[in-house]
Amino acid sequence: MPEAPRDNTSKPNTVGQGIRRRRTALGWALKDLSQASGVPLSTLSKVETGAMSLKIEKLLDVCAALGIDVMDLVAPGERPAGEPEPVTGRRAITQSATAPETVTANAVYRHHAHDFAHRRMTPSVIHLQPGHEPELVRHRGEEFIYVLDGRVEVLTEFYTPTVLETGDSIYIDANMAHNVRALDGQPARVLNIAAARPA
């Protein structure tokens, strides 16, 4: 299935910007990342500019080539060791229309608090489309999933599939391969909060 096009006229391209930041930090040209990940150069260029999104499998290939976790693309890096954490009373407000989106084969992720630096949680509202068999993914930390609308099935590598209905939730070790899919041929919507474990 081809990568899904993406409308980026009003939303920041956090995933593409994260890929570009890491690539340039490594001193790589686009062709270097293309060779290392197996993703065509033209596709990578469009992803970095926000003109296209990658399927999750390809995104994982890019992250592996860059030596980063997929969550590093939407979560700012950790504070340098030894630097004290100030009490600032910071906050982040995300208006629905301005939440950056990541599009995959079976879902649209709308990222909230994306501009909150050094955060430990990555909250997203995920709009799941029916009819797709998602690839299982893993990343560092823990994850909380709460069903806002519809029925979903949570797939993990160590447990039998778990069906959740509106109002149900699950908390998992995100290092365990996992994913979620919509059931009953209907779209579903979940709140997903990925959190890094304290050092």
- Quick check: is 87 in a domain? no
Statement to judge: residues 68 and 101 lie in one domain: no
Q: What is the per-residue pLDDT for 187? A: 96
Q: Are residues 117 and 66 in the same domain?
A: no
53 and 123: one domain? no
Residues 69 and 101 placed together within one structural domain of the fold = no
Q: How far apart are the first and last CA of the chain?
A: 39
69 with 102, same domain: the answer is no
Q: Is 50 exceeded by the pLDDT of residue 6?
A: no
**Average predicted confidence (pLDDT) for the chain:** 83
Q: In CATH, what number is assigned to the domain containing residue 114?
A: 2.60.120.10
Strand order in the sheet with 101-103: 101-103, 107-111, 121-128, 188-195, 142-149, 169-173
Host domain of residue 166: 96-195
Which pLDDT value is given to residue 2?
38
Picking from 97, 110, 10, 8, the residue whose alpha carbon sits closest to that of residue 49 is: 8
Indicate the pLDDT class of residue 11, thresholds 50, 70 and 90.
Answer: very low
Residue 6 lies in a domain: no
Q: Which of 73, 104, 121 is the last residue of a domain?
A: 73
Note whether 154 and 115 are within 8 A (CB): no
Whether 152 and 128 have beta carbons less than 8 Å apart is answered as yes
Residue 106 placed within a domain: yes
Q: What CATH number did the domain enclosing 59 receive? A: 1.10.260.40
Q: Do 127 and 166 belong to one domain?
A: yes
Beta bridge pairs of residue 189: 127, 149
Residues 62 and 100 in one domain: no
The DSSP call for residue 7 is -
Does 81 map to a domain? no
Question: What number is the average pLDDT over the span 12-30?
Answer: 83
Maximum Cα–Cα distance for the chain, whole Å?
A: 51
* Same domain assignment for residues 103 and 189: yes
Q: Rounded distance, CA 48 to CA 16, Å?
A: 4
Residue 90 located in a structural domain: no
Q: Tell me, yes or no, whether 5 lies in a domain.
A: no
More confident: 184 or 104: 184
% of the chain at pLDDT higher than 70:
84
In degrees and rounded to multiples of 5, residue 112 shows phi and psi of -110, 155
**Cα separation, 91 vs 14, whole angstroms:** 19
Verify that 163 and 125 share a domain, yes or no.
yes
Number of domains in the chain: 2
Residues 178, 115: Cα–Cα separation, whole Å: 26
Same structural domain, 101 and 191? yes
Same-domain status, 113 and 45 = no
132 and 185 together in one domain:
yes
In-domain check, residue 41:
yes
Which pLDDT tens digit goes with each residue over 28-84? 889 989 998 999 999 999 988 888 888 878 888 888 888 887 777 765 555 455 556
- Name the most confidently modeled range: 33-37, 50-54, 90-94, 116-120: 33-37
Is 8 contained in some domain? no
